[in-house]
Structure 1
Amino acid sequence: MQSVTLKVQGMSCNHCVNSIEGAVKQLGANAKVDLSAGTVTVEFNESNITLDSIKEAIEEQGYDVIN
């Protein structure tokens, strides 16, 4: 398992948390959103999921991944 913390802009409420965590979960990964820090920590199996696909799933929800 790999763990990565991404800086994400545009998150402000529980809807944002649910939207991002749900999108990442559909890929087979786990996400933990920290609204106050503006970060999303993702744990995933790099042999099954790419970091780019995780970033894309978050951006498809309407948020900007900074790193």
Structure 2
Amino acid sequence: MSEIRYNVPEISCQHCVNAIGGEVRQVPGVAEVVVDVDAKTVTVRGEELDDAALRAAIDEAGYEIA
């Protein structure tokens, strides 16, 4: 299983967690998504993760990766 972590400075509340998690979970290969409000990170674990698709999902949720 591989892991990719993104810094997303705009994460501030449970709404952010739900929005990002909902979009990222739809990306093929994703097994787990951890959105950390305090660290302002999104950690994705899974098989054959597609960085571009994950970035697009975070963008679709309305957030920018730093």
**TM-score with structure 2 setting the length:** 0.86
> What SS does structure 2 have at the residue aligned with 1:10?
coil
In the alignment of these two chains, the number of paired residues is 64
Correspondence 1:21-60 to 2 at 5 A: 21-28=21-28, 29=30, 30-46=32-48, 49-60=49-60
**TM-score with structure 1 setting the length:** 0.85
After the TM superposition, which segments of 4 or more aligned residues of structure 1 sit over 2 Å from their partners?
A: none
Return the structure number with greater helix share: 1
Q: CA RMSD in A?
A: 1.1
Between the aligned partners of 1:33 and 1:26, the Cα distance in structure 2 is: 15
CA drift at 1:44:
2.1
Between the aligned partners of 2:56 and 2:44, the Cα distance in structure 1 is: 13
Unmatched 5+ stretches in structure 1: none
Unmatched 5+ stretches in structure 2: none
